[in-house]
Amino acid sequence: MRIIALIALILASPIAAQERAPNHLMGETSPYLLQHLYNTVDWYPWGEAAFAKARAEGKPVFLSVGYAACHWCRVMAEESFEDETIGAFLNENFISIKMDREERPDLDEQFMLVTQTATGGGGWPNSVFLTSEGAPFYGDGYYPRDGFLEVLSELNRLWLEDRTGIEGTAEALGDVVRAYLNRKARARPLTPALASAVSARMLSQMDDFNGGFGVAPKFPQESSLLYLLDQAERNADQALLEAVQLAATSMVNGGIHDQAGGGFHRYTVDNAWAVPHFEKMLYTQALIGRVLTRLDGVQPNPDYARAAQRVFDYVVRDMQAPTGGFYASEDADSLNEAGEYEEGVFYVWAPDEVRDVAGVEADFLIETLNVVENGAIEGASTLRLTDAVADQARLDAGLERLRLARMARALPHTDKKILMGWNGEMIISLVAGAHAYERPEYLAAAQASARFIMENMRNGDGYFRSHIAGAATIEAQLPDYAGFGRALVALHDADPTGGWLPEAARIARYMLANFQEDSGIFRINEQPQGLGAFIQLDDGEVPSGNAQAQWLLSALARRGADVEFIQQASAMADVLSGHALTFPEQRAAALAAVDAQNRGDTGPARAVANGAVLVRAKLNRGAGVVDITIQVAEGWHINAHVPLEDYFIPTALQINGAALGAAAYPEPLITTLAFNSETPLALYEGVVQLSAPIAPGGNVVTLVLQACSNEICLAPQTLSFSFW
């Protein structure tokens, strides 16, 4: 079956030319590498074989890094790697390596830093030139054919005429990159004042008109949005909330949102979120889905609720394997009517195409979705909203007609790699969606993904990062372990009897034993790879590995009495915050993780009392109340609102500082316990339900509780939730 699957991947390659002999990528499982199996270039996969050949023949190495859903990777392949002249030149003068960045994010980030250092910018495909010893001396991104041939010719001339100079450049460039990859920082506590200062600075850098950060190309930057949302919740900060809402509304209404099929594209090439780069990545769905769910939870918004559920519906429908794991991505390109690959052709519409499928609803859809004659994308338009929708049900019915009609078009290719860390992000968001929208099928999908990974991606005591065509490959890296561990914690909170927490704890111990540096920070690999030890701190497509490690250790510390996790989470916080405060805009997830360690979680679910109590807060949209659900573990209780002994801390709920009356609390259980067998106590056990009315505007809901067992009472804890 594996052989059949691999053959199918090869045949699906848009640039396959099977009349040529395959190159050294034969036997690889990455769809991206297999797209290049029959290029004119004699590609090698990353590994010692390629560098040994380079050393033996005295040649430099050309490294090309990309991924299957990448439009410009496909363009460069068609223009250059299928070109006989360029293929012959590379094969004669270089040893060429192809790398899938999604399989090797550790190396991808290192070599992207090389290109950014050399040129001031970067992107994919990433084109890097190395000595035969693996030292990079130059890097750049996409090259058109003629420009690429000029660069190859000049670098080959320099290699032959001034190899000493090239090696000197490589040494200097390598030193700069290594210093950044393995940088040190002074431990520095993240105080509430510093956290607020960072959020104010980030707020000042946002686009006040279109929402989001920076200018085109414009990425969602979900880690930064989630950090701002954390700070909005902690401080009841209306300005921060509105900034995140502006970004979310602009994306939900824009062309970055697949209005017909659900889900979001990776980024836009304009400032107004109208014209996307059309690839759809699993991590984008996970993180934008999480932003929307959180926003809808603190201030109900039917547009966010709808868009979040359409994200999750799309992922479960189109990106989940029958075996349970979630696929990595869908391509930006697909075949047009001429049989040529074209970016976005699957997603865009001309007015006549809408009329052909929508019947009497065509004019309504054309106007509502801004489909114009001679649209900006080869005469067609993305679907986007610029005005409020009066009849959402009518629009949704029309969009479903468009979605079904476009299924007759050539489908974009799906990269069916199942990546451990990306699946972890999707699991976390689906668990949140299942609770927020009472959609148990989301929880079932998340559980299926987790079971697939645990059953099919084990590597001894550890894990593999990637699974495709029946085979698990590539040793898992820090974001994989920490991200999947966090996913198991989320599953535990939703399903405490599912046995998820022990594996999360085992993963954390493996991470501590195999990835941690003496400073307490974590490498991305078990052993240094590429240019050396790599301490991943900057957020990329997912939160940085060290941010996720902090989150996992903190979460485990709050859900059990394991002294190891409590100590490790506390020790790591100041070290990580010192790193994060050095470049806060690039390390928002680390700041959020440290703040969670210091001040407790934000969001609707909070674990307290060493895991004995889980509190969930949820706005009841119809009744205008906040429902508080307190789940108390067996063998534990919390004190009633009116304890029978003065020295016990009562359970108390406040709204904006005003205490609720006694009628808001359930009748307590009156009983005696082993440590106080002579005196009856008033307490709550099991599941406790409380509700509090909310008013227009901001509402801060504060819950005080004290958890006790038959033998000990823990310190009281105060939880605050912000709602608008």
Q: What is the CATH number of the domain that holds 498?
A: 1.50.10.10
Phi-psi region of 324 (alpha: psi -120 to 50; beta: other; left: phi over 0): left
Residue 664 lies in a domain: yes
Q: Of 603, 633, 668, at which residue does a domain stop?
A: 603
Is the model's pLDDT at 399 over the cut of 50? yes
- Does residue 107 share a domain with residue 74? yes
For residues 473 and 500, state if they share a domain. Answer: yes
pLDDT digits (tens, 9 = 90+) for 237-249: 999 999 999 999 9
* CATH, residue 641: 2.60.40.1250
Q: What is the 3-state secondary structure (H, E, C) of 45-76?
A: ECCHHHHHHHHHHCCCEEEEEECCCCHHHHHH
Q: Does 135 map to a domain?
A: yes
Q: Is the same domain home to 636 and 670?
A: yes
What is d(CA 396, CA 103) in angstroms, rounded to the nearest whole number? 37
- Do residue 94 and residue 27 come from a single domain? yes
Tell whether the model's pLDDT for residue 17 goes beyond 70.
no
pLDDT over 80 at 5, yes or no: no
Average pLDDT over residues 62-88: 94
Specify the long-range contacts of residues 301-305, CB closer than 8 Å, at least 24 apart: 301/245, 302/392, 303/249, 303/252, 303/253, 304/248, 304/252, 305/436, 305/437
C-alpha 260/C-alpha 329 separation (Å) is 18
- Cβ pair 599, 234 in contact under 8 A: yes
Residues 514 and 615 in one domain: no
Q: What does the pLDDT look like over 43-56, one tens digit per residue? A: 999 999 999 999 99
Last residue of a domain, one of 133, 149, 181: 181
Confidence of residue 15 (pLDDT cuts 50, 70, 90): very low
Residue 188's closest CA among 179, 178, 198, 180?
Answer: 198
pLDDT at residue 231 greater than cutoff 90: yes
DSSP code at position 80? I
Mean pLDDT calculated for residue range 622-644: 92
Residue with tokens 């990580």: 576
Q: Is the pLDDT of residue 14 over 50?
A: no
How far is residue 482's CA from residue 498's CA, in Å, rounded to a whole number? 20
Examine the pLDDT at 691 and tell me if it is beyond 70. Answer: yes
C-alpha–C-alpha distance, residues 314 and 46, integer Å: 34
Domain identity same for 611 and 599: no
Contact 505, 560 (CB under 8 A): yes
pLDDT at residue 7, as a whole number? 36
Question: How many angstroms separate the CA atoms of 659 and 455, rounded?
Answer: 49
Token pair for 273? 């979120």
* Buried-exposed string 133-166: b where 16+ CB fall within 10 A, e elsewhere: ebbbbbbbbbbebeebbeebeebbebbeeeeeeb
Q: How confident is the model over 545-556, as a mean pLDDT?
A: 97
Place of tokens 């990776």: 266
Domain shared by 669 and 709, yes or no: yes
Kindly state whether residue 516 falls inside one of the protein's structural domains.
Answer: yes
Q: How far apart are CA 46 and CA 724, in angstroms?
A: 52
Determine the average pLDDT of the residues in 357-369.
96
Strand blocks (E) in 227-346: 267-268, 276-277, 280-281, 329-330, 333-335, 341-343
Instruction: Assess if residue 253 is contained within a domain.
Output: yes
Q: What is the mean pLDDT of residues 206-213?
A: 96
Work out the number of other CB atoms within 10 angstroms of the CB of residue 205. Answer: 10
Residues 633, 517 within the same domain: no
Q: What is the pLDDT of residue 9?
A: 41
Q: Alpha helices, DSSP H only, in 359-419?
A: 362-368, 392-406
Classify residue 336: in a domain, yes or no: no
Residues of the domain holding 623:
606-723
Residues 175 and 540: their CA atoms lie apart, in Å, by 23
Return all residues near 279 (Cβ < 8 A) that are at least 6 apart. 69, 70, 71, 265, 266, 329, 330, 331, 332
Q: Is residue 188 part of a domain?
A: no
Percent of the chain scored above 90 by pLDDT?
Answer: 85
Residue 183 pLDDT class (50, 70, 90 cuts): confident
Question: Would you say 552 and 504 are in contact if contact means Cβ atoms under 8 Å apart?
Answer: yes
pLDDT at 13: 45
Domain count, the chain: 4
Summarize pLDDT for 303-324 with one digit per residue, the tens.
999 999 999 999 999 999 999 9
pLDDT band at 608 (very low <50, low <70, confident <90, very high): very high
**Is the confidence at residue 621, as pLDDT, over 90?**
no
Over residues 223-228, the mean pLDDT reads: 98
Q: pLDDT at position 118, please?
A: 87
Contact status, residue 611 vs residue 560, Cβ threshold 8 Å: yes
Instruction: Note whether residue 187 is domain-resident.
Output: no
pLDDT score recorded for residue 196:
95
Question: Residue 35 — pLDDT band, cuts 50, 70, 90?
Answer: very high
What pLDDT is attached to residue 561?
61
Q: Give the whole-angstrom CA distance, residue 476 versus residue 421.
A: 9
Is the pLDDT at 613 greater than 70? The verdict is yes
Residues 518 and 653 in one domain: no
Provide the pLDDT for residue 676: 64
Same domain, 209 and 162: no
Task: Look over the chain and give the mean of its residue pLDDT values, rounded to a whole number.
Answer: 93
Segment 600-619 mean pLDDT: 93
Q: Are residues 127 and 208 in the same domain?
A: no
**Do 102 and 128 belong together in one domain?**
yes
Query: Would you say residue 444 has pLDDT above 90?
Result: yes
The answer to whether 599 and 593 have CB atoms below 8 angstroms apart is no
Q: 592-606, pLDDT tens digit by residue?
A: 999 999 999 999 999
pLDDT at residue 130 is higher than 80: yes
Is 335 part of any domain? Answer: no
* CATH number for the domain harbouring residue 148: 3.40.30.10
Average pLDDT (687-691) is 95
| 402-423 pLDDT per residue, tens | 999 999 999 999 999 999 999 9
Least confident span in 33-37, 191-195, 222-226, 619-623: 619-623
pLDDT of residue 553 exceeding 90, the answer is yes
Averaged pLDDT, 666-681:
81
603, 619, 643 — which closes off a domain?
Answer: 603
120-134, 176-190, 313-327, 668-682, range with greatest mean pLDDT:
313-327
Q: Looking at residues 572-592, what average pLDDT do you find?
A: 94
pLDDT higher than threshold 50 for residue 8: no
R_g over Cα of the chain? 27
